[in-house]
Structures are given as C-alpha cells and as structure tokens.
Structure 1
C-alpha cells in the first residue's frame, strides 16, 4: 500500500508540474481588458495576444505630453501647465510638470540592409514631459488614454520684479512672453467650450 501511495503522489506531482507549465502569472496586479479568447485559439504574444493586462492604477493622474524641440530650454521639471481633455469637456485642469525625458525620440539607428543617410530622416521628435494634477482629485474622472490638449507656461513676474540687471529690451521681451501665455490660456478655454459642441453638433457623434 505504501508503494501505491508513493506512486500516486509522484503522479500528482507530475500532473501539477504540467499544469504549472501552462499557467502564466503576471508580475503586477491588474485587470484583463478585451479578453476574447475562445476554445481552440492560438495564444501568442507576437501574433495574437488573448487580451491586454492593464496594471492597477496605470495611467491614473499622470499625463504625457509632447512639445516642439524649440521649447527644450524652457520645459523644465516644476513648470506649470494646463490640460483640456475631450473626455472631460468644459474643464481646464491645472497641472505641474513632474518629469522631462532627457532624450528625444527621433533619429535612432536601426539595423537594416541600407547605409544611413543624414538627409533621409523623419520629422523631428518632440520633448516628452510627464504631468500630474496640481491639486489632488481634479483628474480622477479622466479615463486613462484620453486625448488632451496641453499648454505649458513660463512665469517671469518674479524676475521682472526683483532682477535689476534686466535691460529695457529684456523686460519688454519677458512681458511679451507672459502676454502670449495669457493669450494661449484664453485660447485653451475657448477650445474647451467649442470642442464638445463641434463634436456633438457638427459631426453628429
């Protein structure tokens, strides 16, 4: 009887090992979205994944924005910005820049059968910045993946008030920069009012 028990336990362990080979565990907690796996389907992460694992909290209260390369010297960590998302109409949310990617996603070299040519390059990449709400809770109801418009601003008021070394021309330039920021802020608010009406009335969506 003891031999039969040992043999059964070995068979059970072998069966459990085979089951473990067919089981995949994710390294993060999350939920499966668009899970359309049916009996007989071939599951392959390259050809056809069974579904998409969305990590818990992914994309919540954190936004990614791209700015032209000409802004590389002014888009800095700690800067202020505003966003307007289509999924939350009529609302402008103040943001703060929490991180700026220190590389530009353009011009990477990929191994091919052709020599690279400096004149054959794609469009210039953008400065990637990551933003979070300035005040807690303001972006909780914006679904991850929403399409948004972002304005980032510079503030030269303190410099104009306390920097006596500024020349007259520099002061005029900084005033113009701040004025342009005010115009862009007004434009963002106008678009937050027009975009929902344009989407619902004129396109019929």
Structure 2
C-alpha cells in the first residue's frame, strides 16, 4: 500500500512540475512581449501569470512533502509497526500455547473426568492420571522378607503367577535389589519419632523381569502377583571338599525351594477357585 502511494506521489510530482513549467514558459513569453511592446500585454495579465507560477511551485513543494512523508513511513513507521505486530503475534502464540498441556512422556491419560469450568491444579485438583506407555510392562516389583536380605542377589531365577492371568507360571530373573527398606525411613518433622510406631517390619524391594520375551503379555500393569525366588547351589554341591553336614544343608535348601515351587503351582491353580467360588466374586 505504501509503495503504491509512493508511485502515486512521483506521478503527482511530475504532473505538478509539468504544470509549473508550462505556467513559467507562458509567463516568460508574456513578459518578453510586454518588454518589446508594452501595449501588447497588459500588466494585470503578467501579474496573474506570476501568481499562477507561484501556486504551481507551491503545489510542487506540497507534493514533495507528501512523498517524503510516504518515504518516512516506509523507512521507519512501517518497520516499527511490523515489529510491534510480530511481537503481539508472538505473545498471542505464547498465550495460545498455554492452553495446550504437553506430557513429558508418551502414555495414556486415565480417570479424565473434567467438566467444562473445572479448575485444574497439579497439587489440589489434577486433571487425571498419566500412565506411561511402558509402566508396569517390563518389570515386576516384589517385596520379600528381610530374612532373605543376605541371599537375594541379582541374577537369581524366580517364578511368578498373577491373578490377572491365572493358571500360568511366568519364569523371572532378579534384575535389581533395593538396598534400603522403606519402612525404616525418617522424615524431618516437628515431632520426635518413636521406633515402635512402625508396627509391621518392612520388606526388601526386588525388581524382576521375565526370563523370556513376551512373558508379561496378557498381564495388565498393576496386577497382583505371587513370586518365588530360588537360590542355585549346583556349583557348591559339586565341590569335592564339601562337608557332609554342609552338603545336607544345601540339599535341604534346594528341597525347600522345590516345595515352594510346587506350592506356587498349587496357588496358580487355586487362585481362580478361591476368587470365584469362596470369595463370592465373579
């Protein structure tokens, strides 16, 4: 638009200059004729032409000023307006981006029960629960007795059966053993803590992963499971200098593990019956 006005100003300048030149030529011609013969051209006509020339020259000045005004808009006013508009656009984009909430991880939003007009606050009124896509699909978290703290090691073979997939034994392997017990933590507060307030002893948190790929297929994340971890005494039993008492003790441990494995299979068989028949659930 401003460039169009600039082109129009140039055209008006050219037109005003042409009119000025025409009036000036006519004034000079009349003046020369009067100088040669005073009776040929009246003095009043000379004065009239002089006024026309001055008017045409003023018109040129006005058109030149209009052109300078357009050039000033192009060089300073319009760039400033453009920057102001770009800043307003950026601010509007920021405000628009605030209306969309992006999760830090990929997953599924559950229990999203918001209604129009509800106030969302991450501390007092969350919009829902974000379940990461891989949550609970790679590892099983189990709590084992503190008596097993000295024997629970990474790499131990384990087995698990879950209520959500009955009649199935899932081979597992221990991948991580947490070296802290949750119930023993002390949080800073304004009250002294009595150790006897902890009624139940805590458990050792152990992470177990399926021994084979696809071991958790069909098990929904968050399922309740029963797991056994087994020690391996095969190499120690093969030692030649192993005493009889020690050899018998290791065999007892392996026998206990075998019994626990059998019990786990019985539990896998009885879980559906216990849940559907004896508890009255269905």
Q: Same fold (TM over 0.5)?
A: yes
Q: Distance in 1 between matches of 2:197 and 2:274?
A: 38
Match of 1:199 in 2: 275
Per-residue deviation, 1:32: 1.0
Q: Distance in 1 between matches of 2:92 and 2:235?
A: 72
Structure 2 distance, partners of 1:10, 1:154, is: 68
How far off is 1:186 after superposition? 0.4
1:40 corresponds to which of 98, 112, 117: 117
1:171 to 242, 247, 264: 247
Aligned residues: 204
Instruction: For 1:122 and 1:70, locate their aligned partners in 2 and report how far apart those are by CA, in whole Å.
Output: 17
Structure 1: gaps (5+ residues): none
Is the CA contact (8 Å cut-off) linking 1:106 and 1:122 kept in structure 2? no
TM-score by length of 1: 0.91
What TM-score do the two structures reach when normalised by structure 2? 0.68
**How many angstroms apart in 2 are the aligned matches of 1:9 and 1:91?**
63
Which deviates the most, 181-190 or 51-60?
A: 51-60
Tell me, in whole angstroms, the C-alpha distance in 2 between the residues paired with 1:118 and 1:65.
Answer: 25
Do 1:99 and 1:130's aligned partners in 2 also have CA atoms closer than 8 Å?
yes
Pairwise CA distance, 1:86 = 0.5
CA distance in 2, matches of 1:121, 1:142: 33
Task: Tell me, yes or no, if structure 1 residue 94 matches structure 2 residue 183.
Answer: no
Q: Which residue of 1 aligns with 2:149?
A: 72
Gaps of 5+ in 2: 2-77
Give RMSD over aligned pairs.
1.8
- Higher helix residue share: 2
Residue 166 of structure 1 deviates from its aligned partner by: 2.1
Q: Deviation at 1:15?
A: 1.5
Matched residue, 2:211? 134
Q: 1:149 aligns with which of 223, 226, 230?
A: 226
Higher relative contact order (CA 8 A, sep 6+): 1
